[in-house]
Amino acid sequence: MKVKVLSRNPDDYVRETKLDIQRVPRNYDPTLHPFELSREYTRALNATKLERVFAKPFLASLDGHRDGVNCMAKHTKSLSTFLSGSCDGEVAIMWNLTKHECVRTLQAHEGFVRGMVVRYCGTSFFTVGDDKTIKQWKMEAPGYGEEEEPLNTILGKTVFTGLDHHWQEGVFATCGQQVDIWDEQRSSPIRSFTWGVESFSSIRFNPVETEILASCASDRSIVLYDMRESAPLKKVIMTMRSNTLCWNPMEAYYFTCSNEDYNLYTYDMRYLDQPVTVHMDHVSAVLDVDYSPTGREFVSASFDKTIRIFPKDVGHSREVYHTKRMQHVICVKWSSDNKYVLSGSDEMNIRLWKAYAAEKLGVLAPRERQAINYNQKLKEKFQHHPQIRRISHHRHLPKSIYHQTKELRIMKEARRRKERNVRKHSRPGTVPVVSEKEKHVVTVVK
């Protein structure tokens, strides 16, 4: 006779050692786990709420400058080193970001420090100032008893307003009344570009196609250059002046410029006749822009005392950072490990922010990481649901900015209405619909 008894093999449920993972038998029968949609929705909602709870982006304020911070530079080889030049121009300061302290100051220029860039090898850096000089400095502090002296000084004829270094060679470019390409070994520019009478505000080397440059000029234009050619490549004139621009470090032909008309424009350098994306949200002139090293997002600094983070192909910002004491933000940088954002503002402080406001810094346990990944996906999945959307999009803004945003919206709506009315009351075809992208480009000059 066969007797049926309950019998279990201990191998199925007993761990060999206590360090083994507990075996958890699971039954994935969907009938046993009902309401998956609503349960996940709730989880997503909670995750979104928690994200807002944990969104504390402000990390530190680095004070030490005695005037507004006019320019900053990332170290190319060290994450913890950071350079800044101030507006009164007397000092360029090197920071240790991990300790939040100033490591070294030096008297660089008389007047504004206009531009600052670290050489690609990280051993020295260049500064330009209002005193018409380009100075190259050693990254290391001078030894005891030695005087702080630049490695090299070049006297220019005019004021330099911007500076950038080639990503792979000993060549750098300055801009002022003209764009000059300098060899580090020479005291005179190896090439200079002019195209009409203008003054330039910013120049940037393309980090991918390293021979290509772009500059912003005061005649509201953005000019492209090739270092190897004797003439500039092309020029696009916009309705208002661009202040700075930044190339996407991962995508060779995209760059973004920050404009005086409160917007940022991402261009494809092959098709300059209209921007790829118009990024709007600022309520005052945008002064600086910097791409994240992953090329997915960029951060912009504005005169409206905020910095905003935009995904590169989205028209509106995903994040806005502001503090009560932060004044007009003049310069901004995204750290090269994609974790932090640094902003230098008028009121002499450099602020350190997290690039992802709710991100937990430091090492994550595997389970923690899994949970974070899952929550992230949930948020993405349910992002279009109104409640979740409302919570995730909500940002507290300073009153002035809030009202100004509203006002701008009203103005825009009024303009649109007017245009619509004009179109309505004129012969069909005479008032064409102009898209937002087309609106801001005046011409492309070959």
Partner 1 sequence: MDKVSKKSIKNCSSQTPESAELNPDEVYIDEAEVEELNAADENIICEEEDACKDERKRQRLLEAISALGGKRKRKLGERSEAAVQMSEFTVSGEGEKVNLSDLIGTIDKNAAIPAKTKKQLKTLQQSNKTVECPLSKQESERIQRDVAYQKAASEVSQWKGVIKQNQRAEQLVFPLNQEPSGPKPFERVLTSWKAQTPLEQEIFSLLSINKQPIHDPILTPTEEASLRAMSLEEAKVRHAELQKARALQSYYEAKARRERKIKSKKYHKVQNKHKRKEFLKQFDEMVKTNPAAALEELNKIELARMQERMSLKHQNSGKWAKSQVIMAKYDEGARKSMQQQLEVNKDLTQKLVTSLNNEEDSEIEEVSAEVTPAFVKDAEEGLDSSNPWMRGKLSAEPREKQTSDSVDLTAEGFGGNASEDEEDKHNVAETEEEALLREFDNRRKHRQIQEADTELILCLDDDDNEDKEKTKNAAEDLDTSDKEEELSQFTSLMQGLTDAHWDIEAEFAKTAADTSSQLEQSFIKIGTLEDRELLSQEDSAAEKVPVKPQLSTSTENPLPASPVTEKKRKRKRGIELKHVLTKETNIIHVPLAPTFRDSEDLDESLDQRQLIKEAFAGDDVVSDFLKDKRKQEDTSKPKLLDLTLPGWGEWGGTDLKPSRNKQRRFRIKAALPPPRKDQNLPSVIILEKRNSSVTLHQVNTLPFPFENHAQFESTIRCPMGRTWNTEQTVKKITKPKVVTQLGTIIEPMNRERLGKKLVSPGSQDSVKLS
Using rule CB under 8 A, residue 294 touches partner 1: yes
Report residue 375 as tokens: 């929550």
Alpha-carbon distance of 279 to 242, in angstroms, equals 13
Nearest to partner 1 of 58, 253 (CB atom) = 253
Alpha-carbon distance of 38 to 189, in angstroms, equals 66
Alpha-carbon distance of 42 to 25, in angstroms, equals 25
What angle is formed at CA 102 by the lines to CA 98 and CA 107, rounded to 5 degrees?
145
Using rule CB under 8 A, residue 231 touches partner 1: yes
Residues 6+ apart with CB under 8 A from 48: 379, 382, 388, 391, 392
Q: What 8-state DSSP symbol labels residue 202?
A: E
Quote the least distance from Cβ 48 to partner 1, whole Å. 13
Q: Is 92 exposed, middle or buried (0-12, 13-18, 19+ CB in 10 A)?
A: buried
Cα 288 to chain centroid distance, Å, stands at: 8
x/- map, 115-154, partner 1, by CB under 8 A: ----------------------------------------
Stretch that binds partner 1, among 86-94, 177-185, 203-211, 344-352 (CB under 8 A): 203-211
Quote the least distance from Cβ 234 to partner 1, whole Å. 5
Alpha-carbon distance of 126 to 136, in angstroms, equals 4
The CA–CA distances, whole Å, from 268 to 223, 230, 250, 367 equal: 13, 23, 13, 41
111 and 122 Cβ atoms separated by less than 8 Å: no
Quote the least distance from Cβ 238 to partner 1, whole Å. 18
Nearest to partner 1 of 195, 321 (CB atom) = 195
Quote the least distance from Cβ 387 to partner 1, whole Å. 5
Using rule CB under 8 A, residue 208 touches partner 1: yes
Nearest to partner 1 of 210, 404 (CB atom) = 210
Using rule CB under 8 A, residue 88 touches partner 1: no
Using rule CB under 8 A, residue 393 touches partner 1: no
Using rule CB under 8 A, residue 436 touches partner 1: no
Using rule CB under 8 A, residue 233 touches partner 1: yes
Query: Residue 388 in 3-state DSSP?
Result: helix
Cα 446 to chain centroid distance, Å, stands at: 29
Using rule CB under 8 A, residue 36 touches partner 1: yes
Among 67, 88, 130, 251, the residue binding partner 1 under the rule CB under 8 A is: 251
Among 100, 132, 138, 234, the residue binding partner 1 under the rule CB under 8 A is: 234
228 and 403 Cβ atoms separated by less than 8 Å: no
Stretch that binds partner 1, among 110-118, 224-232, 402-410, 433-441 (CB under 8 A): 224-232
Alpha-carbon distance of 194 to 374, in angstroms, equals 54
Using rule CB under 8 A, residue 378 touches partner 1: yes
Using rule CB under 8 A, residue 237 touches partner 1: no
Residues 6+ apart with CB under 8 A from 81: 75, 94, 95, 96, 97, 103, 139
Nearest to partner 1 of 5, 24 (CB atom) = 24
The count of residues interacting with partner 1 (CB under 8 A) is 58
What residue ranges bind partner 1 (CB under 8 A)? Answer: 26, 28, 30, 33, 36-37, 39-41, 43, 76-77, 79, 155, 167, 187-188, 207-209, 212, 224, 226, 229-234, 249-253, 269-270, 293-296, 336-339, 363, 370, 373-374, 376-378, 381-382, 384-387, 446
